[in-house]
């Protein structure tokens, strides 16, 4: 079992819709959780971090964490074509090492 699992996609949504990206992790001692966005040919860019159960909102982005279910999600409201990218879920277990999933490719069509 991989430490961090994501559906590779692509996830296709029309412009203006809500995109829902999901991630599960295997290690219950994981403490902090991150979503990075990576455009094709570019490096990852942090868009959200979440440390406690519940929802965290930042603009059009909402991160959701459920530690009991070992589940993290990212919702993107009012999706734009510029949101088309690979979204990487990353988990930290209290050390400096981040463990990344393989990413979900999101395609937003105009």
72 touches 61 (CB < 8 A)? no
Interface with another protein, residue 79, by CB under 8 A: no
At its nearest, how many Å lie between another protein and the CB of residue 105? 10
Burial 70-104, CB ≥16 within 10 A → b, else e: bebbbbbeebeeebbbbbbbbbbbeeeebbbbebb
Sequence-distant (≥ 6) Cβ neighbours of residue 99 within 8 angstroms: 3, 4, 25, 90, 91, 92, 93
- Using CB under 8 A, which residues numbered 19 to 48 contact another protein? 32-34, 42-46
- Using CB under 8 A, which residues numbered 45 to 74 contact another protein? 45-46, 49, 51
Task: Quote the CA–CA distance of 73 and 71 in Å, as a whole number.
Answer: 7
Residue 88 or 108: the one with the smaller Cβ distance to another protein is 88
Number of chain positions touching another protein (CB under 8 A): 26
At its nearest, how many Å lie between another protein and the CB of residue 46? 6
Q: What is the DSSP letter of 108?
A: E
Residue 8 or 66: the one with the smaller Cβ distance to another protein is 8
Q: Can you give the binding site for another protein, defined by CB under 8 A?
A: 4, 8, 32-34, 42-46, 49, 51, 88, 90-92, 94-103
């Amino acid at each position: 079992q991989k430490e961090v699992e994501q559906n590779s996609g692509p996830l296709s949504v029309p412009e203006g819709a809500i995109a829902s990206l999901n991630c599960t992790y295997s290690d219950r001692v994981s403490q902090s959780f991150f979503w990075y966005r990576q455009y094709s040919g570019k490096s990852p860019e942090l868009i959200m971090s979440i440390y406690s159960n519940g929802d965290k909102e930042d603009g059009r982005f909402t991160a959701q964490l459920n530690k009991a279910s070992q589940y993290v999600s990212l919702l993107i409201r009012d999706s734009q074509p510029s949101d088309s990218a690979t979204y990487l879920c990353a988990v930290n277990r209290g050390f400096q090492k981040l463990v990344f999933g393989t990413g979900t490719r999101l395609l937003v069509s105009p």
